[in-house]
Amino acid sequence: MSSSTLILATYTIFHATQIEYHGAQRIAELPQLRPGKSKSVASSRGLVMKTDARTLLLASAATLVLFILTSPCYAASCEDLLNLKLPNVTIKSAQQVAAGDFAGPDKVKQADLPAFCRVIASVKPAPDSDIGVEIWMPIGPWKGVFHGNGNGGFAGALSAGYPGMEEGLRRGYASAVTDTGTAPATVLDGDPLIGHPQKWEDWGKLSTHVMTVTGKAIAKAFYGQDATRSYFTGCSTGGQQGLIEAQYYPDDYDGILVGAPVIDRTWGHALAVWDLQSANLQPGRQLSSAKLALLHSAVLSACAAKGNGLATDPFLSDPEACKFDPAMLACKDANSDACLTPGEVQTAKAFYSGPVSSAGRPLYYGWLPGSEAPGPSGWTFLETPYKGEAPFDGLFKWVFGAGWNWRDFNFERDMPKVNAVLAPSVNGVTSGDVGRFRARGGKLVIFQGWADTLVAPEQTLHFYNGLGKEFGGLAKVQDFARLFMAPGVMHCGGGAGPNVFNAANGGLRKPPTGTPGDDLFTAITQWVESGIAPAQIIATKYVDDAPAKGIAMQRPLCAYPQKAWYKGAGDTNKADSFVCAIAPPHR
């Protein structure tokens, strides 16, 4: 029996007994992560285990462990995996895909993908649980690496993980994804999960661990050996998945790379309702694309040179240094695209502030200056109803029922009830502990776009600074966890700033070299395998975001709390004209 198999077996049993999962019931309301609140609230939790669910899951986990420990051989072919027997697991398909023959939902074949074994499975570890898992395993040499991938929004589909899986497969990794057990929900629509509390928990805490244990077992059955290293990559919901793994299942992965992680899930969704209310409860409150462009241009003029920024940058390098009042754009005479009406000014202020109480006390975070640019994934998206509702608002129907109306939602009155019902299932990051992940040598890299309009950037900063308080300062935190703030970058990518620095994001825009110097995915593997921590990453902005047109700009992303400062001489589009430091070098 290999040591890695023994570890996996031991921790599978251990985690099956954890009361935070199956059938746990809240007694004391979980404090929420927001301005002025401490992240470390694990000691305040009061939970009671439901014995039947606990027994069922412990038995299931023990059976899976028994299979893993006694499985003597590997599959002769990919198709043989159809006969693989794992407890609570149904292998739905197993087929070999020829090199260059795979096409995702876009029907475009990926010519550079090697041949691989594609397995799709369904895992049902508890009543009303049905967690989809897909794993791709290279037919040629396997590097011995298992690579887990995150999903997005309410998930519900496996294909969201394909871009990251493609990159993992190119590296010779066995790469997997889960639909988080939420099908037929979709990224924006969680309505199908009304009345399914087990699926809330699968989405919020369990499914990524199930994918990991199941995926590793399938890979072992195929190759006849355990994975020697494991990495996880994901963004948004995928970021939350990665943090949950680090906090609750510290032995699943050696390195975890996450972007824009959802930390306080319930308040993050409440922010979308706040934005829609702010722009739509009263007529004339929405900002047109022309008005958003006006606002964004004014912000850049006022603040691009603030902090470590340059006046010539088309983005803000330090949004927190920007103190901008949209009232300065108020119309003096007739309404036009060159000014903001009083209602539009109020909408902009509400977007910047985020939810506040009736007395004006901050309840959560808002969006930062520099995030206002019009477009389908910016403030335009936040202002516009999705199917007549707020995007992502299905979560509130889980609490209040299908007839819930976003227009009537009162944040002070209703959020305590939302958290009482959902926080134990979906807000695990606010109360989790990365101590065991740190103790076993795990490495964590987080990135966050300053111009994000789906995950509040200051929430990510609050989380990371909270680790500093927990572990005796950021210098000690950097021994195992690093944060990279990305100027001008929107949610998980895109935006006016240098936005290419992570090959695991997938797609056609990849870092120019793919080395640890410009690719976070490669950097975290180097940190785990060679002990070289990333101090900076060169981020790239392609001309028109098209690599074939060449590089428009490169700039270093610095390990927080350092920032990229201009040296005072040299091409501002070249990374070597900047230095990572706490303070500007020329002062």
Nearest to 209 by CA among 243, 160, 236: 243
Sign of CA dihedral 5, 7, 12, 13: positive
Contact present, 153 and 118 (Cβ < 8 Å): no
pLDDT in tens, 433-485: 999 999 999 999 999 999 999 999 999 999 999 999 999 999 999 999 999 99
248, part of any domain: no
Pairing of strands 443-449, 255-259: parallel
CA-CA distance, 152 to 391, in Å (whole number)?
13
pLDDT in tens, 235-263: 999 999 999 999 999 999 999 999 999 99
- What pLDDT is attached to residue 18? 37
Q: Given 236, 317, 371, 425, which residue is catalytic?
A: 236
User: Do 59 and 185 have their domain in common?
Assistant: yes
This prediction has a pTM of: 0.88
47, part of any domain: yes
Beta bridge partners of 177: 134, 149
- What pLDDT is attached to residue 508? 67
- In the listed set 176, 205, 227, which residue is the last one of a domain according to the structure? 227
As a whole-number percent, the residues of the chain with pLDDT over 70 amount to: 87
126, part of any domain: yes
- What pLDDT is attached to residue 74? 59
Q: Is residue 491 annotated as a catalytic residue, yes or no?
A: yes
Q: Is residue 196 annotated as a catalytic residue, yes or no?
A: no
- What pLDDT is attached to residue 271? 98
Contact present, 384 and 254 (Cβ < 8 Å): no
User: Do 334 and 406 have their domain in common?
Assistant: yes
User: Do 210 and 63 have their domain in common?
Assistant: yes
The end-to-end CA distance of the chain, in Å, is: 60
User: Do 218 and 281 have their domain in common?
Assistant: no
The residue written with tokens 């990510």 in the block is 460
- What pLDDT is attached to residue 59? 46
User: Do 12 and 83 have their domain in common?
Assistant: yes
Beta-carbon neighbour count of residue 434 at 10 Å?
A: 22
* Number of domains, the chain: 2
> Which range of residues forms the domain containing residue 378?
268-424
DSSP assignment of 445-456: EEEEETT-SSS-
CA-CA distance, 522 to 516, in Å (whole number)?
5
User: Do 272 and 221 have their domain in common?
Assistant: no
User: Do 223 and 273 have their domain in common?
Assistant: no
Pairing of strands 481-486, 536-542: unpaired
281, part of any domain: yes
User: Do 151 and 277 have their domain in common?
Assistant: no
User: Do 136 and 275 have their domain in common?
Assistant: no
Mean pLDDT score, 316-338: 97
pLDDT greater at residue 407 or residue 104? 407
221, part of any domain: yes
Inter-axis angle of helices 51-70 and 3-16, to 10 degrees? 170
Confidence of residue 585 (pLDDT cuts 50, 70, 90): confident
334, part of any domain: yes
- What pLDDT is attached to residue 71? 41
Q: Given 318, 452, 518, 519, which residue is catalytic?
A: 452
- In the listed set 206, 227, 248, which residue is the last one of a domain according to the structure? 227
Q: Is residue 40 annotated as a catalytic residue, yes or no?
A: no
250, part of any domain: no
CA-CA distance, 431 to 45, in Å (whole number)?
8
- What pLDDT is attached to residue 522? 98
- What pLDDT is attached to residue 9? 40
User: Do 44 and 100 have their domain in common?
Assistant: yes
pLDDT in tens, 367-381: 999 999 888 889 999
Mean pLDDT score, 331-341: 96
484, part of any domain: no
Q: Given 147, 230, 491, 518, which residue is catalytic?
A: 491
Confidence of residue 198 (pLDDT cuts 50, 70, 90): very high
What's the mean pLDDT when you consider all of the chain?
89
- In the listed set 176, 202, 227, which residue is the last one of a domain according to the structure? 227
Pairing of strands 89-97, 131-138: unpaired
User: Do 40 and 156 have their domain in common?
Assistant: yes
pLDDT in tens, 64-109: 444 444 443 457 699 999 999 999 999 999 999 999 999 888 888 8
pLDDT in tens, 546-578: 999 999 999 999 999 999 999 999 999 999 999
User: Do 192 and 298 have their domain in common?
Assistant: no
pLDDT in tens, 20-78: 333 333 223 323 333 333 333 333 333 333 334 434 444 444 444 444 444 434 576 99
